[in-house]
Amino acid sequence: MIFTTKAEYGVRLLIELGKSEGGAPLSLKAIAEREGLPLAYLERIVALLKKANLVEATRGAHGGYRLSRPATDIRMDEAVHALEGQVAPMSCFVDDRPGAGKVLCSHHDDGDLCATRLLWMRVHGGVTEALHRTTLAELVAFSHRDAKQPELIQIGTDA
């Protein structure tokens, strides 16, 4: 499995916020009920999104969360990264150094490469590309139409 429920719940949460964009802030309790998710767990998940500046919180009665940016400007690579942390195809494939987008394999100490590297690079590329390509606005639109207009949105790139 690539992602955990953190990503699943987190993205669903974002979609709910996206649906009520422009309106009053949405409370976690409301979201938890709508989506059938455990409230206490959602609290921890939304904290990740807040730390990444994807959502803003209003405390107190009639408070809740809202997107800190229009849904069109929220790309899923950012969201998923906030929720799951580094998305690597393999445990040896993590970039520690801050600031760098480089990925490296720790099997060979020097600059030497382990043979699987090419494969994981490609997979990693495929995932990040797919995530980056998808905006929250798209997902909101997708959830709005539900069963109405079957195939307005295409899944892949133009072949």
Partner DNA sequence: GGTTCTCCGACCTGGACGGTAGGATATGTC
Partner DNA sequence: GACATATCCTACCGTCCAGGTCGGAGAACC
Best CA proximity match to 132, nearest among 69, 87, 65: 87
Secondary structure class of 67 (helix, strand, coil):
strand
Q: Among the residues of the chain, which ranges form H helices?
A: 5-19, 28-35, 39-51, 76-84, 117-133, 136-145
Nearer to a second copy, 96 or 146 (CB): 146
Interface pick for DNA out of 50, 69, 81, 117 (rule CB under 7 A): 50
The nearest distance, CB 22 to a second copy, in angstroms, is 19
Which CB atom, from 14 or from 46, has the smaller least distance to DNA?
Answer: 46
Task: Select from DNA, a second copy, none the partner in contact with residue 76, using the beta carbon and a kind-dependent cut-off of 5 to 8 Å.
Answer: a second copy
Nearest residue to 52 via CA among 75, 79, 88: 79
Task: Measure Cα distances from 71 to 9, 75, 148 in Å.
Answer: 17, 8, 22
8 binds a second copy (CB under 8 A): yes
* Binding-site ranges for a second copy (CB under 8 A): 1-3, 5, 7-8, 11-12, 15, 76, 87-92, 111-123, 125-127, 129-131, 133-134, 138-140, 142-143, 146-147, 153, 155-156
